[in-house]
């Protein structure tokens, strides 16, 4: 006879070997969206509160200040780990090429696809500038513009490739009220050059370099562990960054450049949602799988405005969600994070250069447009994966001989534009390794087709895509011990 449902049965959780159901937090993407929505609301509240203090010396209110502090502190934390992350990631990625057949061929094809997609992006940028003609439809006064204090030139770019010291370290001193204030900074482009040289030397040194490579892998795992901790703060950072943007850059500031901003975002959308899908489909890949797998990296890039800060997430989704072999992904993604900039180095400088030329009544010839494309493809490394594209923009403007004062007019809304630019950058940094891997026959197509982005912080062994076992699938067992959430994807196991 069957046991009535009302009869009490032994509690399975009371037995020693019974599995325990783990509490599932919302996925990383959901947390980011929640931070975005809450940031928009708080930013609107902060803007409605207005500024405080006398009319001649007003300062932001407490909510705007708080949001700005939260956002800037998050970005500062990301930047703090950039120097060791870039150096170690590139050294280890080059060393990992030992385990990749036809490594030189893969490297060459990666750079070729970087150039191809950049050319397409800059062509779209030029098209947006000619269609929207933002410089002819603005209420800005030319006299309002001032040349930026730091500009990029080809001489500076080429000179910047030569490291002044092993760490790519620089320092600047300013004297204010008789007191000297020295700021230390790192030249990321120089760090990239140093890392490439050291990585190639380690690759060529054979077994003698094995201890150094092992140390670099261990050090990279530690750096990425710290960075994963920082990335866990991304929802809070999103709240601060978006909230401060809304509070600081209202429509009153954006409206004179609305047409310019629309041209930028339409160009970014065309690259992200038209060009990339066409490339994926032409290579026999599902577009939905790509966006499902890459979305966490694209999302984080949008709020952090840093390709390098997003690097661990970009590398993880490329390898684990989209099926690119780890040895190749650990080479292509760090390289892309420092040189592959479809948003910052292609679309933005093209539209901005046309805007400045139209604003000052300067005619651009076919040669000038070709020069814009050349600068975008060759000079994209000048952005070096950091927040903002001022160097690339001033490099383009100065090469064309346009007034640098026009750059100053665009700086007011740069953070708003930079969010979309960086998201497009990272999307391209994921796309190219996927395309190259597919064309070379090394892409795990089953893993790609099943791409998911449920959780970035769980072990690969917990499921086909590394996500936690859902309650519907049953509770996790002791055999499914989780790995530390920060274990790096790019290092060799």
pLDDT of residue 406: 79
Mean pLDDT across 336-354: 88
pLDDT of residue 482: 36
Mean pLDDT across 114-128: 94
Tell me how far apart the alpha carbons of residues 84 and 66 are, in angstroms, rounded to a whole number: 30
Tell me how far apart the alpha carbons of residues 384 and 407 are, in angstroms, rounded to a whole number: 19
Percent of residues, the chain, with pLDDT higher than 70: 72
pLDDT of residue 20: 55
pLDDT tens figures, 54-87: 666 678 888 989 998 998 888 888 878 878 888 8
pLDDT tops 90 at residue 120: yes
Mean pLDDT across 37-49: 89
pLDDT of residue 466: 35
The pTM of the full predicted model, rounded to 2 decimals, is: 0.76
pLDDT tops 50 at residue 5: no
pLDDT of residue 483: 38
Instruction: Kindly report which listed range (157-161, 238-242, 291-295, 483-487) carries the lowest average pLDDT score.
Output: 483-487
pLDDT tops 60 at residue 423: yes
pLDDT tops 50 at residue 200: yes
Mean pLDDT across 118-136: 93
311: left (phi over 0), alpha (psi -120 to 50) or beta: alpha
Task: Tell me the pLDDT of the chain averaged across its residues.
Answer: 78
Q: List the beta bridge partners of residue 174.
A: 181
């Amino acid at each position: 006879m069957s046991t009535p449902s009302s009869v009490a049965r032994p509690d399975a959780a009371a037995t020693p070997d019974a599995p325990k159901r783990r509490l599932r937090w919302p996925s990383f993407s959901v947390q980011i969206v929640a931070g975005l929505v809450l940031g928009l609301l708080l930013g609107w509240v902060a803007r409605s509160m207005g500024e405080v203090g006398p009319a001649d010396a007003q300062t932001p209110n407490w909510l705007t200040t708080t949001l700005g502090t939260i956002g800037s502190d998050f970005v500062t934390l990301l930047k703090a780990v950039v120097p060791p992350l870039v150096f170690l990631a590139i050294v280890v990625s080059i060393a990992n090429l030992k385990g990749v057949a036809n490594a030189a061929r893969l490297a060459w094809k990666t750079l070729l696809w970087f150039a191809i997609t950049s050319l397409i992006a800059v062509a779209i940028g030029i098209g947006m500038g000619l269609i929207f003609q933002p410089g002819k439809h603005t209420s800005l006064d030319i006299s309002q513009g001032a040349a930026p204090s730091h500009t990029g030139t080809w001489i500076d770019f080429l000179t910047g490739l030569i490291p002044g010291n092993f760490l790519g370290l620089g320092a600047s001193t300013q004297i204010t009220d008789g007191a000297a204030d020295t700021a230390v900074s790192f030249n990321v482009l120089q760090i990239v050059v140093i890392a490439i040289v050291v990585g190639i030397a380690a690759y060529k040194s054979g077994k003698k370099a094995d201890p150094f490579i092992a140390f670099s892998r261990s050090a990279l795992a530690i750096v990425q562990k710290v960075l994963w901790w920082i990335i866990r703060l991304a929802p809070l950072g999103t709240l601060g960054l978006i909230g401060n943007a809304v509070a600081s850059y209202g429509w009153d500031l954006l409206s004179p450049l609305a047409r310019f901003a629309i041209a930028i975002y339409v160009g970014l959308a065309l690259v992200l949602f038209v060009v990339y899908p066409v490339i994926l489909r032409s290579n026999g890949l599902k577009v939905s799988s790509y966006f499902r797998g890459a979305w966490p990296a694209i999302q984080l890039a949008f709020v952090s405005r840093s390709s390098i800060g997003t690097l661990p997430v970009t590398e993880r989704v490329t390898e684990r969600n989209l099926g690119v072999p780890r040895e190749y992904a650990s080479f292509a993604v760090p390289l892309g994070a420092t040189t592959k900039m479809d948003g910052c180095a292609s679309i933005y400088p093209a539209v901005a250069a046309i805007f400045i030329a139209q604003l000052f009544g300067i005619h651009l010839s076919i040669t000038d447009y070709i020069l814009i494309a050349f600068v975008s493809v060759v000079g994209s490394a000048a952005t070096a994966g950091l927040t903002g594209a001022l160097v690339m923009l001033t490099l383009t403007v100065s090469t064309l001989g346009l007034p640098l004062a026009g750059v100053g007019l665009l700086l007011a809304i740069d953070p708003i534009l930079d969010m979309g630019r960086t998201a497009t950058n990272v999307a391209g940094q994921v796309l190219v390794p996927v395309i190259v891997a597919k064309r070379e026959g090394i892409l795990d197509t089953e893993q790609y087709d099943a791409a998911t982005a449920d959780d970035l912080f769980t072990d690969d062994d917990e499921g086909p895509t590394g996500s936690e076992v859902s309650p519907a699938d049953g509770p996790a067992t002791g055999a499914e011990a989780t790995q530390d959430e920060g274990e790096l994807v790019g290092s060799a196991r």
